Amino acid sequence: MAENTEQQPGKTIHAGGEWLEAVSGATREIIDPADALPFAVVAEGDEKDTDIAVAAARAAFDGGQGAWPRTPVTERAALLRRVADLLVRDREELGLLESRDAGKTVEEGRVDIDCVADAFRYFADLVAGEAPGRVVDAGTPDVHSVVVHEPVGVCALITPWNYPLLQASWKIAPALAAGNTFVVKPSEITPLTTVALIDLLVEAGLPAGVANIVTGPGHSVGARLAEHPDVDLVSFTGGLISGTKVAQAAAVTVKKVALELGGKNPNVVFADACATEEGFDTAVDQALNAAFIHSGQVCSAGARLIVEETVRERFVAELARRAEKIRLGRGTEDGVECGPLVSEQQRVKTESYVAAALAEGAVLRSGGKRPEPTATRPATGYFYEPTVLDQCHREMTVVREEVFGPVLTVETFRTEDEAVALANDTEYGLAGAVWTADAGRARRVAGRLRHGTVWINDFHPYLPQAEWGGFGKSGVGRELGPAGLAEYREAKHVYQNLAPRPVRWFAG
């Protein structure tokens, strides 16, 4: 892997082609959530470092004929493919780094790197295969009218801590494919793989100033990016409160804004999906996957199980039994199925939601506490048991608000209309799923769910070719797919009069 933060402790700000320390000299220790011990040091940037990075991105965008926006599409696509190849080359190292940084299992980390490489290849193919413009019929042979797409400019890309490199790739790959320059601000908790990606971009031959990164907190770096007058677009993935602040700051300069925010995602299970043993087993297994992968720290997590009343008891009993068998531990250890939460703050938050749910009448079926320490699960780590809360209802805080931890709530329904009403009874609208053996019902329910992604008899897969967005407070804009590329472009109408002549509106 190319030289990165492990070789340059405290030099993780990249601006104008150089690795820099923070102007203030401040640093931050990066904590391994499996044992709460520091294992890396990064620069703690602030507004001054952000201004330097934005200036570098602006200069790289506004340069002469050889600037990145004017680089032929074929060359931009070729660079993205080289980056994908480098990601494959460094898959093991990056997967391990993602595991230690975010707490997920190494296998999850490896899968993330595969998906990142896929995203770079997808956007390379998409932009390389596009038509140069859309001809608009002006109704006369003397006029040539065409709509072309141009890069937006300098993009501020603010990414979350749960899928650091994957979420960064969903922004960086289309931004570069479209010809933009950017400044990325990874989460201050999990910045290491994004720092490593900048190294790979440089190794692939990206010109200086096109890719810039500032490691530092949201209240300084993120806030400055959102308000900066030389930033043309801000793309943010994270929580609702922070996303609202980003939108408010960006509104002052009327920037383009893309927000991917929270979710409280329903997983609706009809009894007919469980009519066979294989169907029952699959639905239970997928409910576990929906709720507990990466300890529930997933914006699209199926944290609300909405199950038909006739199968509720059997389904929840089996779900709870299997949840108790999930092997918790350090993500780098063999046999571990679920790692720690990302921080002590996140664990305390999870505990508070569970305590409130029990006080409001929920019934604990599994988990609900910190696990006993083991050789693979240090007592100092931020572990919490996968938790199933039965007999929940819409008025409970744990049902309404995003926990972002390994907590699954159970609600029941009797009719299709009731199932849809429960699933849509949320301020969010990111993702959801429906399980049924009835093809007609599957289409009806999927069509009525007000969520940006709806899975039928599955949960969690995504395709680079498909747009990812949401309704309600889950955000605005799209990532992935052709619409994801369109977010990083502006449309320009070029009208050429081949036979100019006087208009003669006025006498003279």
101 to 32, 189, 297, 344, 487: CA distances (angstroms): 6, 8, 14, 14, 29
Contacts of 278 (CB under 8 A, 6+ apart): none
Tell me how far apart the alpha carbons of residues 49 and 392 are, in angstroms, rounded to a whole number. Answer: 47
Our answer to whether residue 392 is catalytic in this structure is: no
**Quick one: tokens of 328?**
């918790």
Q: Which of 155, 274, 299, 338 is catalytic?
A: 299
The widest CA-to-CA distance across the chain, in whole angstroms, is 93
Tell me how far apart the alpha carbons of residues 406 and 384 are, in angstroms, rounded to a whole number. Answer: 7
**Quick one: tokens of 84?**
């994908």
Mark 216-237 as b/e (b = at least 16 C-beta within 10 Å).
bbbebbbbbbbbbebbbbbbbb
CA 165 to chain centre: 9
**Quick one: tokens of 169?**
């790739």
**Quick one: tokens of 454?**
């709806």
Tally Cβ neighbours within 10 Å of residue 463. 11
**Quick one: tokens of 272?**
């007919």
185: β partners: 158
Q: Which of 44, 260, 402, 416 is catalytic?
A: 260
Tell me how far apart the alpha carbons of residues 80 and 92 are, in angstroms, rounded to a whole number. Answer: 20
Describe the strand order of the beta sheet including 489-497 as a list of residue ranges: 134-135, 143-151, 489-497
Question: What is the full DSSP assignment across 325-377?
Answer: T--BS-TTSTT--B---S-HHHHHHHHHHHHHHHHTT-EEEE--SPPPPBTTB
* DSSP structure class, residue 206: P
CB of 7 within 8 A of CB of 199? Answer: no
Our answer to whether residue 115 is catalytic in this structure is: no
* DSSP structure class, residue 207: P
Is the C-alpha dihedral spanning 316, 322, 324, 329 positive or negative?
negative
Angle, CA of 451, 452 and 455, to the nearest 5°:
80
**Quick one: tokens of 68?**
């990145």
Q: Where are the alpha helices (DSSP H) in 130-182?
A: 164-177
Contacts of 165 (CB under 8 A, 6+ apart): 94, 98, 112, 113, 116, 193, 194, 196, 197
Q: If we measure between CA atoms, which residue out of 208, 148, 188, 166 comes closest to residue 18?
A: 208
Catalytic residues: 260, 299
